[in-house]
Copies of this chain bind each other. A is one copy, B any other.
């Protein structure tokens, strides 16, 4: 569990050079690196450079196309469907978000469903692209099946995250970014490394019984939808994950439900492919398509300050506003560096020798 600190710039340069070696254009490599490293900066360590070798392996088995022809295949004034041509989701999602933003400039809102993509990193990075234009940003994606719906043994959905970002004037932006499960897979990995059990309500075993084994996914178990069990509202987490799947894949023509391709290149592809690749859904709503942005932001400041000043339960110092923890990580890590586990460093060193790129 030893860790070392690396500067953002150091990791940026190395990661970008790996994408270049894969054959990405300079522009794509830049965009992909920004997307990927936003996870490390925001403290979502499971989705950052720890996954770089996973993307490389997908490219090696020809499931990622480094030079995709990403294009709109259908559109209306407020909508579009993008075909990602099997490219990096890290590049395709920002492309789609730019279309959503451009449409919001024209007609108030823009909504883009994406087919034929791959994993896009963290949803927040894409949703937050809208903030600089005084827009709300929305991002979601489906993912390979790890989650058993309420009453199911079979894993039918991914952790299917939803992000909503809203500008907030003099306060930092509101950024809610959440997997629709009780706990994301990355949380399990942390417990595995520490040899700890999970709380109740995170996972079930291969027979559908409640479990606290952090390694249960490797034994045929499943993550549980937000809520954990029926009595605690797991049917709601399941419904939200289902909505993400419908918006991201059924609207675009991507694979859905248990047929979403897995991230690890060594995991066999699903038995059928009803669509193309993985699906995302990106949205942008111009605040002043509803009311003057200054009025909205004044109210957001009032809203946020109300929550920050709420009385806390025993043992807690403050009520957080969605986005607070990640923003604190980002400030701290830009300053002091990004901590990487030895296993991740080893992974990057292997990429370094594979591509004959310096990494020290």
Residues of A bordering B, CB below 8 Å? 74, 76-79, 81, 106-109, 111, 113, 136, 148-154, 156, 162, 164, 166, 174, 176, 178-183, 199, 201-202, 204, 207-209, 226-228, 231-233, 235-240, 242-243, 245-246, 250-253, 256-258, 274-275, 285-287, 289-291, 295-296, 299-300, 302-303, 306-307, 310-314, 316, 318-320, 322
Contacts and interface: CB of A to CB of B under 8 A. Distances in A.
Contact of A166 (B150, B228, B236, B246): B246
**For the complex formed by this chain, how many copies does it contain in all?**
2
Contacts of A274: 299, 302
A232 B318 contact: no
Given A149-B319, A240-B178, A313-B153, A295 B233 contact: no
A320 B108 contact: no
A251 B74 CA distance: 29
A108 B108 contact: no
A108 B79 contact: yes
A290 to B, nearest CB: 4
Contacts of A182: 227, 232-233
A310 B199 contact: no
Given A178-B236, A239-B178, A307-B257, A81 B251 contact: no
7 smallest beta-carbon distances between A and B, as pairs: A208-B313, A76-B108, A176-B239, A79-B108, A77-B107, A151-B316, A79-B289
Nearest to A313: B208
A162 B204 CA distance: 27
A105 to B, nearest CB: 10
Given A289-B79, A290-B79, A153 B310 contact: yes
A310 B149 contact: yes
A291 B74 contact: yes
Nearest to A291: B253
Contacts of A286: 76, 79
